[in-house]
Structure 1
Amino acid sequence: MYDPVDAAFAAAPREEFLPRDQRERASYDGPLDIGHGQTNSQPRTVAAMLRLLEVQPGDRVLDVGSGSGWATALLAHLTGPAGYVIGVEIKPDLVAFGAANLARVGPTWAYIVAARPGVLGLPDHAPFDRILVSAQARRLPEALVAQLGAGGRMVLPVDGTMLLVEQQEGEPRDVPRVTRHGSYRFVPLL
């Protein structure tokens, strides 16, 4: 049976998004150092997050903590050319690294921008259909919940637990549905 997440993994191999000294470890199912205190997440974890996110062709997606650009590229394969993905990263060297990786091997409907100081996400580009956060928050970030459109989904680790946040259509925007999906460790959301 066709699995869009497996197809995205095949289209955007992890090794293409790792520093040269880490590429031989691309098949390792664990986080890998990409410098600047950040990691390229464990493939099994990334796959679980993408399956929870349920990206659809044509979706507008925000990738918070884009790092190497790997998840950004995976998300772009899931949206297809009718959608788009914006990665946002706070570390300037990683913005350059991730953007270069995407330019070399990623789809043209995905790109990475530098985070604005003191601003979480990209509120000027909201609403988003999907938001993926690859860094651990201490509590559910209301600033990102506010960037979800009606029917939107956000997946993020909060205080060691993976959360799925669903913005129900027709419901008040301040009452999203939140479910828990296991324990995970991530670098902190800055």
Structure 2
Amino acid sequence: MVEEQLVRRGIEDQRVLDAMRRVPRHEFVPEGSERYAYEDHPMPIGDGQTISQPFIVALMLEAARIGPEDSVLDVGTGSGYAAAVAAELGHRVVSIERHPELAVTAAATLEALGYRVNVVTGDGTLGWPAGAPYDVIIAAATGPTLPRAWPEQLTREGRIVMPVGRPGGAQHLTVFERGADGDLHGRSLGAVTFVPLVGDDGWRDRE
């Protein structure tokens, strides 16, 4: 997976590559789907959610530049796979999931594999103030814009990586970093397809 799908497509960060070699992706997919775990495509995990394809996970984490002492907020736990890779890279990971069943399953998988990730249930568009500040915020769902609460929970040098755009329409994986003016400015890493970021400051269920 790493050599064929990541290195050949331009992922260069050695820490990210090594982390993805260590995390057993097959442990994070539904039972019976293990044989497909290392293929480069998203997979359904229940409740209308997916586990992102390996290349996209690597691309997001490379852009996030997670250091060994960094605190990370992972929005949209899903199966817990991206949180596990982030835990290999950073010092502390809080992962928030709005679906209670997915949160329980992900927490159990992460604990069984020895990953110390604090999985919480809630509205990810509001972040998780109790764990702030974060050096990195990553989101596995596309929002209409950057949620207002996230910059307030970010360190001065922090980064946010999230897809922005309408579900079923144009979406761009976007990296937000502070400019000289102190405001967060986004740059696109390219077109992507993600499930919607649902919440008070995201899309509504009906959208």
Q: Percent identity?
A: 38
Q: Is 1:53 paired with 2:64?
A: yes
1:149 aligns with 2:155: yes
* TM-score normalised by L of structure 2: 0.83
**CA-CA distance at 1:18 after TM superposition:** 1.1
Aligned mates of 2:50, 2:122 — CA distance in 1: 18
**Structure 1 alignment gaps of length 5 or more:** none
Equivalent residue for 2:96? 88
Q: How much has 1:177 moved relative to structure 2? A: 2.3
Q: What SS does the aligned partner of 1:124 have?
A: helix
Q: Residue 12 of structure 1 contacts residue 105 of structure 1 at CA under 8 Å; is this kept in 2?
A: no
Instruction: Name 2:9's counterpart in structure 1.
Output: none
Pairing partner for 1:40 from 44, 51, 57? 51
Matches of 1:5 and 1:22 in 2, distance apart? 24
- State how many pairs are aligned: 182
| Matches of 1:98 and 1:141, distance apart in 2 | 24
Between the aligned partners of 1:49 and 1:107, the Cα distance in structure 2 is: 20
Shift of 1:2: 7.3
- Hey, what does 2:24 align to over in structure 1? 13
Structure 1 residues 119 and 182, CA gap change in structure 2 (3 angstroms): closer
Secondary structure, aligned partner of 1:20: coil
Question: Tell me, which stretches of 5 or more residues in structure 2 are unaligned?
Answer: 1-11, 166-170, 199-207
TM-score, normalised to structure 1's length?
A: 0.90
Which residue of structure 1 aligns with residue 129 of structure 2? 123
Please state whether the residue corresponding to 2:111 is helix, strand or coil.
helix
Whether the 8 Å contact between 2:13 and 2:62 is mirrored in structure 1 is no
Q: CA RMSD in A?
A: 1.7
Residue 89 of structure 2 aligns to a residue whose secondary structure is helix
1:179 pairs with one of 174, 183, 187: 187
The 3 A distance-change label for structure 1 pair 7 and 113 is: same
Distance, in Å, in 2 between the alignment partners of 1:122 and 1:111 is 11
How many Å separate the matches in 2 of 1:157 and 1:126? 21
**Contact 2:73–2:137 at 8 Å: present in 1 too?**
yes
Runs of at least 4 residues of structure 1 off by over 6 A? none
2:121 paired residue number: 114
- Give the C-alpha shift of residue 124 in structure 1: 2.7
Instruction: Give the one of 113, 116, 132 matched to 1:105.
Output: 113
SS for the counterpart of 1:6 is helix
Q: What is the SS of the residue equivalent to 1:51? A: helix
